[in-house]
Amino acid sequence: MSETRTTDPFDSYMAARLGKPVAQVTAALNADDDDESCPRCGTVNWGRTPDGALECVTCGYTEPEPEFAEADGHEIAAQIGMGNILAISGGRINVRRTGITLPCGCGYSVTIDLAGNDTYTVRRVLTRAGKAWVKGEMTGVYCDQVGEVAYRAGMFRDEWVAGSAS
C-alpha cells in the first residue's frame, strides 16, 4: 500500500475536492504496521520523531496534521439547538468522526466540523449522482454562532454569504 487513504470515505472525498491533505491516514502509518511502505518514497524504513510522530527515515515523510479534530456529534447538535436542526433537516442527523451532517433535501446537506483551533467549519454541500460540490463554506465559527450559521447554510435557496465568521 503506497497511497495515503482515510478511514472515512466522505472525509477523503471532501479533502480531495478541496485540494487539501487527507485528515487521517490508515494503519499503514501505525507503529504496529512498520512493514508498510512510505507513501512518498516507497521504502519500509520507519522511525519516531522526538515528539513521537511516525516518520520515514529515508525521506522524512511524517503523517499530515489533521484538518479537523475529532468531535462529539451530540455536543455539536446541542450547540446548534434542536429547533435549528428541525428547521434544517427535519431532525435527521448523521454523526461523523469530525462533526455532523444535516441532510436538507433536494441533494443539499450541511456539514459542521470541529476545526483544530476549536472553531467550526460549516459547509453547504450539493450532491448529485455521487458527486459532491461545496456550494458555500464558513470557517472560524464560534459555538455561540454555529446555530445561526448552520441555519443559513441549510436554506439552500438563500444567497448565503460564505467566508469567515470572525
Instruction: For the chain, give the DSSP string.
Output: --S---S-HHHHHHHHHHT---SS--GGGSTT-TTSPPTTT----EEE-TTS-EEETTT--BPPPPSB----HHHHHHHH-HHHHHHHHTT--EE-SSEEEEEEETTEEEEEEEBTTS-EEEEEEEEETTEEEEEEEEEEE-TTTHHHHHHHHH-TTS----EE--
β-sheet bridge partners, residue 13: none
The chain-wide mean pLDDT, for the chain, equals 77
Query: Tell me: the pLDDT tens digits for 79-127?
Result: 999 999 999 999 999 999 999 999 998 889 999 999 988 899 999 998 9
- Whichever domain contains 100, its CATH number is 3.30.160
**Whether residue 36 is found in the same domain as residue 85:** no
Give the lowest-confidence range in 72-76, 131-135, 145-149, 153-157: 153-157
**Whether residue 97 is found in the same domain as residue 42:** no
Is residue 132 domain-resident? yes
Is residue 123 domain-resident? yes
What are the φ/ψ torsions at residue 143 (nearest 5 degrees)? Answer: -60, -30
Is residue 129 domain-resident? yes
**Whether residue 41 is found in the same domain as residue 92:** no
Count of beta carbons in the 10 Å neighbourhood of residue 85: 23
Query: Tell me: the pLDDT tens digits for 15-65?
Result: 555 565 543 343 333 434 445 777 778 887 777 766 666 778 888 887 665
Is residue 3 domain-resident? no
Query: Among positive and negative, which fits the CA dihedral 7, 10, 14, 16?
Result: positive
Q: Give the C-alpha separation, 8 to 98, whole Å.
A: 10
The percent of residues above 90 in pLDDT, for the chain, comes to 33
**pTM, two decimal places:** 0.58
The answer to whether 107 and 128 are in contact (CB under 8 A) is yes
The pLDDT of 132-153, averaged and rounded, is: 91
User: What is the pLDDT at residue 29?
Assistant: 38
